[in-house]
Amino acid sequence: MELIISNRLSTLGHPQRLALFRLLMRRYPDRVPATELAQALGIKPNTLSSYVNALMQAGLVTQERAGTSLRYAINLDAARETMDYLLNDCCKGRPDICTPVINSHKAAQKFNVLFLCTGNSARSIFAESILRDIAGDRFVAYSAGTNPRAGLNPFALEVLKQKGHDISVLRSKNISEFQGADAPDFDFAFTVCNQAANEACPAWHGQPISAHWGLPDPVKTEGSDAEKSLSFQQTYGALRNRMITFTALPLATLDRISLQKHVDQIGQSRPEGSSK
């Protein structure tokens, strides 16, 4: 076992292989196409191939073929085994040394939830609005973008108005607004687009439970206004379904590992009509 762990740590000692490993961890449990990984990391396909092969040989990444595309995912069992070895052997199992500080919450407190996408003009804005309206007594919802647009998408605003949401409180925000010393301590952080999940986000205040709830970008829908409107309606519906499931979780009784599994499963639900 010691030799296996040593090999994994040596493999992760390369900065670009570590960056690839971290990206796949952020996207877990998704299987990500090789072309998307290469684009996100800004490397050539043959360079990516050498990195993923090294991670696969170390047992940290798995490969699956879907048609002509190769897709990759984290081998979570191997990743856990590696972390457990470090904790139990190197740290002697002492949580006061190795375990990150996790916020504890009283039942009366609200949970802070951050939704992230690239433009913060549609998907993350939908998520913020839906959570605020269906469970604002238990959650405080925020949203931000890694590269926010100048304004909110008009089709998204129209859907929100039709659904009875207050759009006067909404605006596009940069993630930098939530990085300062006065930023909220987040309990949950969800990415709702693949591009945002592929980017290296900062460590958020509060050590939140994070998950990837990626959905296709309705902003990129082509066709008539009716077709675009339908795409936004479907995205809204998918996020509302996920939010209903999320807010129904018994947060007071679930341990962190169980809660992580639940939010990962929510992210795997697909909108109606999706073939993925």
Q: How confident is the model at residue 108 (pLDDT cuts 50, 70, 90)?
A: very low
Q: Over 80: is that where the pLDDT of 231 sits? A: yes
Lowest model confidence (mean pLDDT) among 94-108, 201-215, 233-247, 256-270: 94-108
Residue length of the chain: 276
Cβ-based neighbours of 116, under 8 Å, separated by 6 or more: 124, 143, 144, 145, 146, 175, 189, 190, 191, 192, 193, 196, 201
Q: Over 70: is that where the pLDDT of 158 sits? A: yes
Return the CA Rg of the chain: 20
Whether this prediction's pTM lies above 0.85 is answered by no
**Residue 190, amino acid:** F
Q: Over 70: is that where the pLDDT of 152 sits? A: yes
Q: Over 50: is that where the pLDDT of 191 sits? A: yes
139-145 and 111-117 beta bridge pairing: parallel
Q: Over 90: is that where the pLDDT of 164 sits? A: yes
Q: What is the dihedral of CA 135, 133, 197, 36, to 10 degrees?
A: 130
CB atoms within 10 A of CB 180: 8
pLDDT attached to residue 181: 81
Q: Which residues are catalytic?
A: 117, 193, 201
pLDDT attached to residue 83: 84
Task: Spell out the alpha helix ranges (H) of 109-224.
Answer: 123-135, 154-162, 194-198
Domains along the sequence of the chain with CATH: 2-98 (1.10.10.10), 111-267 (3.40.50.2300)
Q: Over 80: is that where the pLDDT of 204 sits? A: no
